[in-house]
Amino acid sequence: MNTQDPLTIRAIRQLHSGWKQEDRKVRRELDEIRVWMTQVSQFGVPRFGETGERLLGLRTCLVEHFQREDALCAQLAAFYERPMSKVDALCRQSDRDHQDLLERIDQMIGELSALEPAFESFQAAVDQIEALISAIEQHESDESEGLL
């Protein structure tokens, strides 16, 4: 496909727009978890199990998000007449990152859901969740930059 064709350029821009819209959905979900964790921390009552349930909701959101991103990546790659190393590399790295992030969230959910949570304190759990959220945000930022 001719990537200089105005229709192709418009379609690629729409894909980029779709990608950014996906990123905004994930950011909203992450922000909601942050706000909730801040509120719970202020009450001073640990809520490990409920935190795990909220992360399960985030995991579901991420799985759907990653599937849509994979489809967008495939559509983007299809616009080019020959394989584009930049697009291919982005898609491969995204896939690896997606698997890693899902493994990390699964581990966190398991630790939060255990009868005896594996954290010294609720704040320690919050700190690890914040590190996970930061990793997700960094991944989303890297993906977006890779598309430009």
**8-22, 70-84, 98-112 — most confident range:** 98-112
Q: Say whether pLDDT at 4 is over 70.
A: no
Tell me the torsion sign for CA atoms 131, 132, 134, 138: positive
Residues 80-99 have pLDDT tens digits of 666 567 777 888 888 999 99
Helix (H, G, I), strand (E, B) or coil at 120: coil
pTM of the model: 0.84
